[in-house]
Homo-oligomer: A and B are copies of this chain.
Amino acid sequence: MFQSTDSCRSAVPLKHARYWDIPGPFVLDSGEELHEVRVCYETFGTLNADRSNAVYICHALSGNSHVTRHNEKDDLGWWEGMVGPGKPIDTDKYFVICSNILGGCSGTTGPSNVNPDTGRRYGSSFPKVTVQDMTALQYRLVTEKLGIKRLLALVGGSLGGFNALDWAVRFPDSTASTLAIATGPCMSSQAMAFDVVGRNAIQSDPDFADGDYYDRETGPETGLKLARMLAHITYLSRDSMKRKFDPERNCGRDVLSLFETKFAVSSYLAYQGEKFADRFDANCYVTITNAIDYFELGVDPEANRKTKEFDRVQLLGQAIAESTCRWLIVSFTSDWLFDESQSRELVGAALRSDKRVTYCNIACDGGHDSFLLEEPIKGNYGALVGAFLRSVAESAGIAGAHSAQPIQTPRIETAESNNRIDYDRIVELIGEDESVLDLGCGTGDLLLRLRRSGAQRRLVGVDLSEEYVLSCVERGLDVIHADLDKGLRGFSDQQFDYVVLSKTLQTVRNVVYLLDEMLRVGRRAIVSFPNFGYHRYRTQLEMFGTAPQTDLRDETHWYNTADVRFLTIADFRELCDTKGYKIHQFIALDTWKGRVVNEEEANVEADMAVVVLSR
């Protein structure tokens, strides 16, 4: 009774696709049933004996199961740079699975397929499908058909990110890690608005015929092309469009299209629209974008329709709290379809429920499409995904997961890291099972020391540098890419035993705001800072008439140091008095001599102080 793939009007033939007809009917989220459902999928690499090396990839709106080539003669996949032998998602090590989504037009059941009950294509009779329905089908393929109980990783970008998020919170024990890329808890209202106009273009196309256009001579290709042209703009960035089109602004190319082609940007959009209509179906586009727009992690849209008294932050938190996996959240600086703030909502929810989470906002001007682009994949983005997977695989004890580069070596040389006497003190101050948030964690040296000394305690780093974030991930640490001058918004009250700020206070502009935030998030704060009251500094000013410097590297001077705050121990004590911070412990160090200085002499004899604070 099942249709062959080529009966699907717009599908591109997938040469290596396999098919699974699910046993019995498929009950949708809405309560409706699809009597027969076929899943079309592809796999890459080899499943190991204990079925522990599987990575499921969730594709985006216009993607499909053909993630990468199966062999050299095969057609290129949509994520070649990311997936394949020796690539970040390494098919030499991992068994990669991708199935086409429910409601699409690439082989899995969708509105352009024949309804076995009627013998005619579904069209308008295809039921409403949600992201949850898509995920449920993906989950069933992996567990029932492929017999994999627990994935090593679940990976998804954009809509695929919705599927990955939904999966991780609803089937929590089925994955060891989730990589949610260029996505968020839901579409922004702005992004939805573009979908709305796209659907309106399709559904108001006279050839749409309420969705039952399959037996007609002409389908709603015009509407579909308009929707695609519009969506395509949202996948690029302002800057990437400027670079691409500004120089030849008035030079439209010859494109076989009835649409406008007179400007460079017109002919490009016309080409994108025409190309898309060759491989996609209008009903599928409407079905999938509806699912996308209805999705909101943790929120029931029907309940929201009845009441506006919705605490979305709390509901998102409750959803993420159900997950048990490690998280990697990635956004891109120029992505305005899913911007940084949407990823940070996910990160915040994961942090608040004490999940292991790493976040990075990758600098790339490619817009939403950045997650698919070769350049960032060859750079920090690909390295991050690879390192995170290696770290998860290593924890899972998968043979060969260990990279050639030993994971404990930082990728960035830091001259100081082995000579941080303040680290010794800080490590001593913290109990074996106490949790630590390290602000300005750099390559993760302090966190690594704490990991070595302590048991399974919670350790999280925060740093502003993409490179440092990557370095921490390569060392198996959880780290959040963030600017301390913007505070610790993602973290909840009293979440950590200690919040540490080591030799970073003097680089922060909003000192009081950050200290307040540290004492909000941590039971206690540990702050180490250089003391400008130290006798050598005083002598330097007195004898040589030059301003003291704490960073002694040759290339660092008053005009280019990262330091922007200059304080003595006395200054810091006065601030604590003024703001009512309690000083629990005070350790003054002369790091030149490698000794502890007594409190009375500290402001002259110590070049560094380590202070434990509480409210």
Say yes or no for A71: interface residue by CB 8 A criterion.
Answer: no
Question: For residue A233, which residues in chain B have a CB less than 8 angstroms away from its CB?
Answer: 190, 193-194, 197
**A223 nearest CB across to chain B (Å):** 9
* Cβ contact within 8 Å between A570 and B558: no
A302 to B262, CA, bound (A): 11
State the 7 A-B residue pairs at the shortest beta-carbon distance, nearest first: A511-B559, A564-B564, A189-B245, A189-B241, A545-B603, A545-B570, A250-B304
Known contacts A200-B260, A269-B196; is-contact A512 B206 (Cβ 8 Å): no
Question: For residue A560, which residues in chain B have a CB less than 8 angstroms away from its CB?
Answer: 511-512
Stretch of A41-49, A346-354, A536-544 that contacts chain B: A536-544
Say yes or no for A421: interface residue by CB 8 A criterion.
Answer: no
**A566 nearest CB across to chain B (Å):** 5
A302 to B266, CA, bound (A): 16
Say yes or no for A203: interface residue by CB 8 A criterion.
Answer: yes
A120 to B612, CA, bound (A): 85
Question: For residue A294, which residues in chain B have a CB less than 8 angstroms away from its CB?
Answer: 250
Say yes or no for A12: interface residue by CB 8 A criterion.
Answer: no
Q: Annotate A542-576 by CB proximity to B: 1 below 8 A, 0 otherwise.
A: 10111100000000011110001111111100110
* Cβ contact within 8 Å between B545 and A542: no
Question: For residue A200, which residues in chain B have a CB less than 8 angstroms away from its CB?
Answer: 226, 229, 259-260, 269-270
Question: For residue A250, which residues in chain B have a CB less than 8 angstroms away from its CB?
Answer: 294, 301-302, 304-305
Other 18 A-B pairs with CB < 8 A, given A200-B226, A249-B301: A188-B241, A189-B242, A192-B249, A192-B263, A194-B233, A196-B266, A197-B226, A201-B201, A204-B258, A247-B310, A251-B304, A533-B541, A533-B546, A545-B569, A545-B604, A546-B568, A546-B574, A558-B566
* Cβ contact within 8 Å between A568 and B545: yes
* Cβ contact within 8 Å between B575 and A559: yes
* Cβ contact within 8 Å between A189 and B265: yes
Q: Which residue of B lies closest to A186 (CB)?
A: B249
Chain B CB within 10 Å, residue with most, of A193, A194, A259, A266:
A193
5 contacts between A and B (CB under 8 A): A189-B265, A200-B229, A247-B310, A538-B541, A545-B603
Copies in the complex: 2
* Cβ contact within 8 Å between B308 and A259: no
A558 to B203, CA, bound (A): 62
Q: Name A559's contact: one of B192, B533, B565 (CB within 8 Å).
A: B565
Say yes or no for A615: interface residue by CB 8 A criterion.
Answer: no
Q: Name A571's contact: one of B189, B226, B542, B546 (CB within 8 Å).
A: B546
Question: For residue A190, which residues in chain B have a CB less than 8 angstroms away from its CB?
Answer: 233, 236, 238, 241-242
* Cβ contact within 8 Å between A558 and B547: no
Question: For residue A259, which residues in chain B have a CB less than 8 angstroms away from its CB?
Answer: 200, 203-204
Question: For residue A226, which residues in chain B have a CB less than 8 angstroms away from its CB?
Answer: 197, 200-201, 204, 226
Question: For residue A247, which residues in chain B have a CB less than 8 angstroms away from its CB?
Answer: 308, 310
A294 to B250, CA, bound (A): 8
Interface size on A (CB < 8 Å)? 82
**A560 nearest CB across to chain B (Å):** 7
Question: For residue A16, which residues in chain B have a CB less than 8 angstroms away from its CB?
Answer: none
Could you list which residues of chain A lie within 8 angstroms of chain B, going by C-beta atoms? 186, 188-190, 192-194, 196-197, 199-201, 203-204, 206, 222, 226, 229-230, 233, 236, 238, 241-242, 244-251, 258-260, 263-266, 269-270, 293-294, 296, 301-302, 304-305, 308, 310, 312, 336, 339, 509, 511-512, 532-533, 537-538, 541-542, 544-547, 557-560, 564-571, 574-575, 603-604
A571 to B549, CA, bound (A): 11
* Cβ contact within 8 Å between B204 and A336: no
Question: For residue A222, which residues in chain B have a CB less than 8 angstroms away from its CB?
Answer: 204
A250 to B312, CA, bound (A): 13
A253 to B241, CA, bound (A): 35
* Cβ contact within 8 Å between A193 and B241: yes
Question: For residue A559, which residues in chain B have a CB less than 8 angstroms away from its CB?
Answer: 511-512, 565, 567, 575
Question: For residue A511, which residues in chain B have a CB less than 8 angstroms away from its CB?
Answer: 559-560
Chain B CB within 10 Å, residue with most, of A188, A226, A265, A557:
A265
Known contacts A203-B260, A260-B199; is-contact A541 B532 (Cβ 8 Å): yes
Known contacts A238-B188, A541-B541; is-contact A251 B570 (Cβ 8 Å): no
Q: Which residue of B lies closest to A246 (CB)?
A: B189
Q: Which residue of B lies closest to A296 (CB)?
A: B249
* Cβ contact within 8 Å between B565 and A558: yes
* Cβ contact within 8 Å between B269 and A193: yes
**A314 nearest CB across to chain B (Å):** 14
* Cβ contact within 8 Å between A193 and B265: yes
Question: For residue A566, which residues in chain B have a CB less than 8 angstroms away from its CB?
Answer: 547, 558, 566
Known contacts A263-B293, A512-B560, A541-B538; is-contact A189 B249 (Cβ 8 Å): yes
Chain B CB within 10 Å, residue with most, of A269, A294, A312, A571:
A571
Question: For residue A537, which residues in chain B have a CB less than 8 angstroms away from its CB?
Answer: 541
Question: For residue A192, which residues in chain B have a CB less than 8 angstroms away from its CB?
Answer: 245, 249, 263, 265-266
A191 to B317, CA, bound (A): 37
Question: For residue A557, which residues in chain B have a CB less than 8 angstroms away from its CB?
Answer: 571, 575
A306 to B542, CA, bound (A): 69
A265 to B542, CA, bound (A): 66
**A227 nearest CB across to chain B (Å):** 9
**A263 nearest CB across to chain B (Å):** 6
Q: Which residue of B lies closest to A238 (CB)?
A: B190
* Cβ contact within 8 Å between A547 and B532: yes
Question: For residue A558, which residues in chain B have a CB less than 8 angstroms away from its CB?
Answer: 565-567, 571, 575
* Cβ contact within 8 Å between A206 and B204: no
Question: For residue A604, which residues in chain B have a CB less than 8 angstroms away from its CB?
Answer: 545
A186 to B509, CA, bound (A): 38
* Cβ contact within 8 Å between B265 and A230: no
**A558 nearest CB across to chain B (Å):** 5
